[in-house]
């Protein structure tokens, strides 16, 4: 009876070992995958600079012009007086030209005199001014992990893109050696 049980167990045990080793040997002949214990992992940092646009505002005093209301009467009266004086000189077409020039000059003198007597007013107001300024910021970002691991009593190092756990997968290769 023992022989029968041993005869059945041996092939089942051998088949179990073969099935267990199959995933480790998948891929290329002579290569497999195993797990190694992580001893240490340190982040690898890189300094990254990036622009930050910020709106900056301030209050500023600004002068505003307040135009005064002016009457048209001095302008009209000055034009009439200037036209009459200009008409006194010259003759023919020259008289017409001097009349027109006198009217224009008289109107201008009257407008300037009115402006001097009643100038525009100015007053200060506070306005908020804004502009966008670009400020540069820097920060340290983790770009990789330097990992120290142990596999079959030997210590190895590698760089990974992501933080490892307590173990990492390693590729195991077996190459025959010529005798």
Residue 3 has pLDDT above 80, yes or no: no
Is residue 100 in some structural domain?
A: no
The average pLDDT across 2-29 equals 49
By DSSP bridging, strand 121-151 and strand 167-173 are: unpaired
List pLDDT tens digits, range 135-170: 999 999 999 999 999 999 999 999 999 999 999 999
In this predicted structure, what is the pLDDT of residue 173?
A: 87
Is residue 1 in some structural domain?
A: yes
Residue 77 has pLDDT above 80, yes or no: no
Is residue 72 in some structural domain?
A: no
Is residue 44 in some structural domain?
A: yes
Range of the domain at 157: 1-52+141-179
Is residue 114 in some structural domain?
A: no
What is the Cα–Cα distance from 28 to 171, expressed in whole angstroms? Answer: 11
Residue of 28, 118, 124, 128 whose CA lies nearest to 73: 118
The answer to whether the CB of 100 falls within 8 A of the CB of 85 is no
Residue of 34, 12, 11 whose CA lies nearest to 23: 34
State if pTM tops 0.85. Answer: no
Number of domains present in the structure of the chain: 1
Place 19 in a pLDDT band, splitting at 50, 70 and 90: very low
Position of tokens 């002579």?
Answer: 30
């Amino acid at each position: 009876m023992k022989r029968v049980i041993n005869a059945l167990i041996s092939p089942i045990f051998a088949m179990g070992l073969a099935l267990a080793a199959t995933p480790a040997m998948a891929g290329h002949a002579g290569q497999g995958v195993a797990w190694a214990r992580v001893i240490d992992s340190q982040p690898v940092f890189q300094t990254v600079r990036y622009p930050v646009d910020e709106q900056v505002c301030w209050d500023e005093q600004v002068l505003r012009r307040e135009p005064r209301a002016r009457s048209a009467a001095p302008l009209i009266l000055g034009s009439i007086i200037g036209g009459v004086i200009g008409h006194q000189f010259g003759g023919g077409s020259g008289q017409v030209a001097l009349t027109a020039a006198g009217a224009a000059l008289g109107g201008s003198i009257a407008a300037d005199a009115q402006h001097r007597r009643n100038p525009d007013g100015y007053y200060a107001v506070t306005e908020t001014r804004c502009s966008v300024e670009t400020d540069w910021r820097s920060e340290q970002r983790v770009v990789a992990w330097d990992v120290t691991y142990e596999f079959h009593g030997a210590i190895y190092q590698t760089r990974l893109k992501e933080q490892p756990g307590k173990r990492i997968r390693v590729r195991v290769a077996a190459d025959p050696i010529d005798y």
